[in-house]
């Protein structure tokens, strides 16, 4: 049991050391011009927090131009966006409505590609409708942006006031920085955070816009591959972006986790054996080791004491890196443990079930570039 605990500790300390090194070395000055930015937000109704989240972003990013992209048949989204457009008359907000994406076409990318012609400013920020970005974070992203880069933010979750939402938030807050950051000193990012990224319009035009990846469901992975192929470097910044998604019940939680883990399997399909082994050692092995320690702890008092020590070290390490990302991230030690112990089951579910749900949409996935919607 001691060897398992030492291996678990080594993996944790490796990730913690390099994540903190990246966070501490980050450039914190803010000199970017928000008036040079067009914010493109594909919007889909169904989340109770949609209006408040959009309002928060509009209130913080004054001076930027907003393009809100909705579906023709999404009446609720039209009502929300029109209310906000009237509430913030001083902001540059344009509502663009499009028909449903054709079968086999990514609905988010479908709207982004059509709306690209409406962009009037130098920089495009793609921002999910459940994400809130501060002016400071956007400025820091702009400072790292060049003609040959795409800059993506670092997500953390703000949970709604119920246990499923807090459990989902705990998964992101425990894992985001320890997943995106530790390998940066050794290799470029494996993908990009599709929730929030900035790119110059001319750079996006040079790679063909979003059109070459329209038939890929995991838009972040597809865009990362496309950009890398054209010599555009992905920059993983530490600029925090707050994501606020309301999960109504346990069913919603498991559907969301299933979607994320299924997307992770699609990423691994496209990577080499060496990269997949690295992903397993740094991300997949840790929950298995924790399960092993938990089972072996029934063997006696000494084993229980060792497990308790592991839990304490884990809690302190996670809290340390979370505070470095955003001071507002709350602490839920029990939910944190539960979240990690559930990860192997989420993976098994993703491997066996290829149907995902996204708000009111249902998709059957065969591969990243082959899926059907219902």
What is the C-alpha to C-alpha distance for residues 64 and 67, in angstroms, rounded to an integer?
Answer: 10
pLDDT at 216 (0 to 100): 85
Look at residue 166 in the predicted model and tell me its pLDDT.
92
pLDDT at 87: 94
CB atoms inside a 10 Å sphere around CB 336: 21
CATH 3.90.550.10 residue ranges in the chain? 32-249
**What's the predicted TM-score (pTM) here?**
0.89
pLDDT exceeds 90 at position 47: no
Helix (H, G, I), strand (E, B) or coil at 184: coil
What pLDDT digit, counting tens, does each position of 214-231 carry?
988 788 888 998 999 999
pLDDT of residue 370: 66
Sign of CA dihedral 23, 146, 200, 142: positive
β-strands 233-243, 149-157 pairing: parallel
SS (H, E, C) 91-141: CEEEEEEECCCCCCCCHHHHHHHHHHHHCCCCEEEEECCCEEECHHHHHHH
**Summary mean pLDDT of the chain:** 89
- Domain spanning 32-249 has what CATH number? 3.90.550.10
Quick one: tokens of 330?
């709350």
- Write down the pLDDT at residue 162: 87
pLDDT tens digits for 116-142? 999 999 999 999 999 999 999 999 999
The winner for highest mean pLDDT among 1-5, 33-37, 66-70 is: 66-70
Q: Tens digits of per-residue pLDDT, 142-168?
A: 998 998 999 999 999 988 888 899 999
Token digits of residue 306? 């060792």
Q: What pLDDT, on a 0 to 100 scale, did the predictor assign at position 301? A: 82
183 pLDDT more than 70: yes
Cα–Cα distance for residue pair 263/110, rounded to 1 Å: 19
Q: How far apart are CA 200 and CA 230, in angstroms?
A: 14
Instruction: Give residue 369's pLDDT band: very low, low, confident or very high (50, 70, 90).
Output: low
Separation of first and last alpha carbons in the chain: 48
């Amino acid at each position: 049991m001691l060897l398992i605990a030492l291996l678990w500790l080594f993996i944790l300390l490796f990730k913690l050391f390099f994540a903190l090194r990246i966070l501490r070395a980050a450039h914190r000055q803010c000199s970017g011009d928000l008036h040079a930015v067009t914010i493109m937000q594909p919007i889909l109704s169904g989340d109770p927090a949609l209006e408040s989240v959009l309002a928060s972003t509009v209130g913080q990013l004054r001076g930027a131009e907003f393009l809100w992209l909705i579906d023709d048949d999404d009446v609720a989204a039209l009502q929300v966006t029109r209310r906000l457009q009237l509430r913030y008359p001083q902001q540059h907000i344009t509502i663009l409505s499009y028909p449903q994406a054709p079968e086999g076409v990514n609905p988010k990318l479908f709207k982004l590609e059509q709306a690209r012609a409406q962009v009037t400013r130098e920089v495009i920020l793609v921002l999910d409708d459940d994400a809130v970005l501060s002016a400071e974070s956007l400025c820091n992203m702009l400072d790292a942006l060049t003609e040959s880069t795409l800059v993506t933010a670092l997500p953390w979750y703000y949970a709604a006031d119920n246990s499923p939402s807090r459990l989902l938030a705990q998964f992101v807050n425990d894992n985001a920085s320890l997943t995106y950051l530790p390998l940066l000193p050794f290799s470029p990012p494996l993908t990009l955070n599709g929730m929030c990224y900035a790119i110059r319009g001319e750079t996006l035009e040079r790679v063909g816009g979003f059109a070459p990846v329209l038939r890929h469901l995991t838009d972040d992975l597809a865009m990362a591959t496309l950009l890398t192929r054209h010599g555009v470097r992905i920059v993983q910044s530490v600029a925090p972006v707050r994501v606020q998604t309301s999960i109504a019940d346990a069913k919603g939680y498991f559907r969301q986790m299933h979607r994320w883990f299924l997307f992770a399997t699609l990423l691994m399909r496209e990577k080499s054996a060496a990269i997949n082994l690295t992903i397993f050692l740094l991300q997949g092995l840790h929950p298995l080791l924790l399960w092993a320690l938990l089972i072996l702890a029934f063997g006696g008092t000494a084993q229980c004491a060792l497990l308790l020590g592991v839990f304490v070290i884990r809690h302190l390490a996670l809290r340390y890196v979370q505070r470095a990302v955003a001071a507002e991230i709350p602490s839920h030690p029990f939910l944190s443990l539960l979240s990690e112990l559930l990860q192997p089951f989420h993976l098994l579910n993703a491997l066996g079930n290829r149907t995902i749900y996204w708000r009111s949409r249902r998709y059957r996935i065969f591969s990243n570039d082959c899926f059907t919607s219902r």
